Structure 1
């Protein structure tokens, strides 16, 4: 990790310190978290990203107090909360299901946590009004949840969770049940809410675009391990290994050879610089490949195998002379579809700095 990945102790909202979580016994034991350490800064939008079963929700539940680590510590603003019950942590959770009370109005749902804390009625009323304004649901205070859309229900759940002013808000895949258009709208809403409240958000998702769109930093997980932590651009452009490169967006993987500081494809072309010696795997993002005329000086010869029109761009499937296959993303033109039928000979140019030499 770089210094940017490690907030100073005074700036830390959450710290997981060598957290291990096992489920089961003997031969059936599952190591859901495998020595995970990470610090999350106050006021940060931090995303835990990974496939189902990678451990991201287990880590979230350990922070919330719904699970207790087998070993290791969870710190909240420097205080050890590893074995404190959930109600003693200034941490709230928004679940995928929203978990609204169907018999209560929107305003009553938002007020619930404040009333449980014994807040005065006038304070509860002021806070509810402020929260509903924040999530833009002022006009819906008297409605019940079943009269709301999915996006509106989610905003009520957010208002309820924010009303008690937690130090940290945990969000467990809260957008996964929404349709694509509404999900994109709510991504902007969540980022706005986090910015306006200044509360630390810890967001769990398996959606790479969600993570890249909203996060200040991302932690990529696999098989209970935290593989890489960093800002979205760093995770996307400088993945530490093949799993991260493959999981974050689309990537071409090609066999190559590093010799005397040069990275050479097995088809013979030099595509970049690299350290070490011997056979490696390189990753090149599709948008970093540019089509050229065949035989154009320095271009990699390739054959078109097909193309797929996707509106904003076309994905062109290509084959190199050594049989390696890859995809180039070509921006769409107003004039119409890309005229590259299968069998067309083209050249390929790789954008400077686009080649990533990966660890296994």
Structure 2
């Protein structure tokens, strides 16, 4: 079965300025986004994710490369001629128009008949669960409700692709969590391709079918949340996605010997010499005594269901263990423990 591609970017680059003052925001980025997919561009500020989104929207023109929508080259197509809508971080609602008028504004500008506009407004307001707020003004709504109005306005013309540029960053934590669920529901119910930009790793892991991790204008890894989290391709991805321990080691007769002198039977491919081990805190467990890697508790952080223990190994390297708070063994600062590492879950990265 062939997968239909919504957005295909080939060797897309974007340079701002000329000569010695030129700045490369994107460097030869290529990726394909499937129809009906919730796809996230993830990375720190300045990594190029918003520049790529703006190139897809048509607000920026790539310096090089080609962007296609459903097989059609749209690299130089004006934004208003693309069946693509964008939801921005600032909701940009018209304060003097009601919710219904805001939602129907784009359709009205397209010259759609009044009956068609009214029908579309009614449909999308029901979709975002705001049908009882149609006559209110934006200032009479909460931040979350305003965000839903902005979503409804973008969904009303039934675009092929919906771009979302960090739309949840202005919301408080509880509301942000609620809107994450809402966005997943809306994408599932509409079947529209969502391309979501964020620097929040939890948002990306929670909502996405696939994630593209970016840094310094480059695409580092594309994969499912599980692939990105469990099998990062390099240290940057491992460090940026969730919490990660890094231990330096050396490959020695099929094992990796770390700074404490202990040898770990981790999965090796063709690695030789110096390597870095990426170890998630949940793959580190503790025992009060016995044979194994010795460590001392230097900090404890209670997080409700979990407790994080910061450990100092004998070579002064640090390791964080995430242990369920209902565990029979509990430790305090200064306790000595034995560390066990789930070597099957360790990722070996070239140093």
- TM range, smaller chain: over 0.9
How far did residue 196 of structure 1 move? 0.1
Q: Which residue of 1 aligns with 2:268?
A: 274
Q: Does structure 1 residue 290 correspond to structure 2 residue 285?
A: yes
Q: Is the 8 A contact 1:301 1:348 kept in 2?
A: yes
In the alignment, the residues of structure 2 paired with residue 126 and residue 60 of structure 1 have an alpha-carbon distance, to the nearest angstrom, of: 30
Between the two proteins, the alignment pairs up a number of residues equal to 349
How far did residue 91 of structure 1 move? 0.4
TM value normalised by structure 2: 0.97
Q: Which residue of 2 aligns with 1:56?
A: 49
TM value normalised by structure 1: 0.94
Q: Does structure 1 residue 356 correspond to structure 2 residue 347?
A: yes
Q: Is the 8 A contact 1:49 1:56 kept in 2?
A: yes
Q: Does structure 1 residue 165 correspond to structure 2 residue 158?
A: yes
Deviation digits for residues 272-294 of structure 1 (CA, Å, limit 9, x no counterpart): 13132111111100111011132
In the alignment, the residues of structure 2 paired with residue 110 and residue 164 of structure 1 have an alpha-carbon distance, to the nearest angstrom, of: 10
1:239–1:334 distance in 2 versus 1, CA, 3 Å: closer
Pairing of 1:48-197 with structure 2 (within 5 A) = 48-197=41-190
Q: CA RMSD in A?
A: 1.4
User: Which piece of structure 1 moves more, 217-226 or 286-295?
Assistant: 286-295
In the alignment, the residues of structure 1 paired with residue 109 and residue 60 of structure 2 have an alpha-carbon distance, to the nearest angstrom, of: 23
In the alignment, the residues of structure 2 paired with residue 292 and residue 185 of structure 1 have an alpha-carbon distance, to the nearest angstrom, of: 38
In the alignment, the residues of structure 2 paired with residue 339 and residue 167 of structure 1 have an alpha-carbon distance, to the nearest angstrom, of: 53
How far did residue 118 of structure 1 move? 1.5
How far did residue 25 of structure 1 move? 1.4
In the alignment, the residues of structure 1 paired with residue 10 and residue 85 of structure 2 have an alpha-carbon distance, to the nearest angstrom, of: 21
Deviation digits for residues 144-175 of structure 1 (CA, Å, limit 9, x no counterpart): 10100000000000000000010000000000
Q: Does structure 1 residue 42 correspond to structure 2 residue 35?
A: yes
Deviation digits for residues 46-96 of structure 1 (CA, Å, limit 9, x no counterpart): 000000000000000000000000000111001000001001100000000
Q: Is the 8 A contact 1:47 1:203 kept in 2?
A: yes
User: Which piece of structure 1 moves more, 243-252 or 257-266?
Assistant: 257-266
In the alignment, the residues of structure 2 paired with residue 166 and residue 292 of structure 1 have an alpha-carbon distance, to the nearest angstrom, of: 55
How far did residue 357 of structure 1 move? 0.7
How far did residue 353 of structure 1 move? 1.4
Q: Is the 8 A contact 1:263 1:273 kept in 2?
A: no
Q: Is the 8 A contact 2:68 2:74 kept in 1?
A: yes
Could you tell me which runs of 5 or more consecutive residues in structure 2 were left unpaired when the two chains were aligned: none
Q: Is the 8 A contact 2:274 2:350 kept in 1?
A: no
